[in-house]
Structure 1
Amino acid sequence: MSAAAADDGPWLDEAAGRLVRPFTASDGRTRPTVALDLMTQVMATGATPLGYLGPEHAQALDRCRAPVPVAEVAAHLALPVAVTKVLLSDLVDRGALTTEPPAVHHHPTDRALLEAVLDALRRQL
């Protein structure tokens, strides 16, 4: 076990990965209270959310200092999008986040846009 893994405590195992199911971060909830899609932009309002928030909420809020799409927050947290949407909607409900529609000026089925996305994905692999 590496030093980094030892610091993570019992919740992360180097060989197995995350030992806690992702849906525990959202208390088992799978439906957000706010309509969010993958490209919805979320941004911190600067308000301190009331009530207890888990570490994933804090990480998501920290990631949203500048406008960022929901998909990017999910990737950064390494959580399923469904879980991330619930966490983000909790933060919106508490006034800590605001949302905006996607900043896409192209039609979502525009061939050039889809090819650009495919090219970017291929570069990542």
Structure 2
Amino acid sequence: MSPTPHSGPAGSGWFDDAAGPIVRPYALTRGRTEYDADVLDMVALIVTEEPAGGAEGTGGAGHGPGDWAPEPEHETILELCRTPLSVVEIASEMELALGVVRVLLGDLLDHSLVRVRRPAPVAQFPSERVLKEVIDGIRAL
């Protein structure tokens, strides 16, 4: 189904009857296409940082009120990441392209509003033998 122009209450906009308002990825990222850091791979876990000193708002420590204002998508990410989520889970929840989410996360990371945690390396997980023994033990109960 192709988008059709539609006049809404706040003026004209582009709408897709099935999807609702269409916002192009470059509009969400202000034309940026990638974040410079390699820390935001698909499995990196993102968690919202509590503001220093319990301050209200999302201005971040050391940033004045005029420096940067989060967009609604940033606020959504902060809300989602109260419980750690991977970058790919955030993209899925928000129904946005992975690259767009990485740029938005980069903004939040630059303003110390989120923290990146690496998932445990595979070597730290129990071996297959240990897992089979646990399952056998549970079945024996």
- Could you say which residue in structure 1 is the equivalent of 2:89? 72
SS at match of 1:42: strand
CA drift of 1:17 comes to 4.2
After superposition, the C-alpha distances for 1:48-105 in whole angstroms (9 at most, x for unaligned) are 2352111111111111001110000001111100000000011011010000112352
After TM superposition, the score normalised by the length of structure 2 is 0.62
Pair 1:15–1:64, CA change in 2 (3 A): same
Amino acid at match of 1:14: D
- Could you say which residue in structure 1 is the equivalent of 2:27? 24
Instruction: Indicate the RMSD between aligned Cα atoms, in angstroms.
Output: 2.7
Structure holding more helix per residue? 1
After superposition, the C-alpha distances for 1:1-29 in whole angstroms (9 at most, x for unaligned) are xxxxx89x956543354422122111111
Q: Larger C-alpha radius of gyration, 1 or 2?
A: 2
- Could you say which residue in structure 1 is the equivalent of 2:105? 88
Instruction: Provide the rounded CA distance (Å) in 2 between the counterparts of 1:16 and 1:39.
Output: 28
- Uncovered stretches (5+) of structure 1, i.e. residues with no partner: 1-5, 107-111, 113-125
Amino acid at match of 1:38: M
Query: Number of paired residues?
Result: 102
After TM superposition, the score normalised by the length of structure 1 is 0.69
- Uncovered stretches (5+) of structure 2, i.e. residues with no partner: 1-7, 52-57, 129-141
Instruction: Provide the rounded CA distance (Å) in 2 between the counterparts of 1:70 and 1:46.
Output: 19
- Could you say which residue in structure 1 is the equivalent of 2:48? 44
Does 1:61 pair with 2:64? no
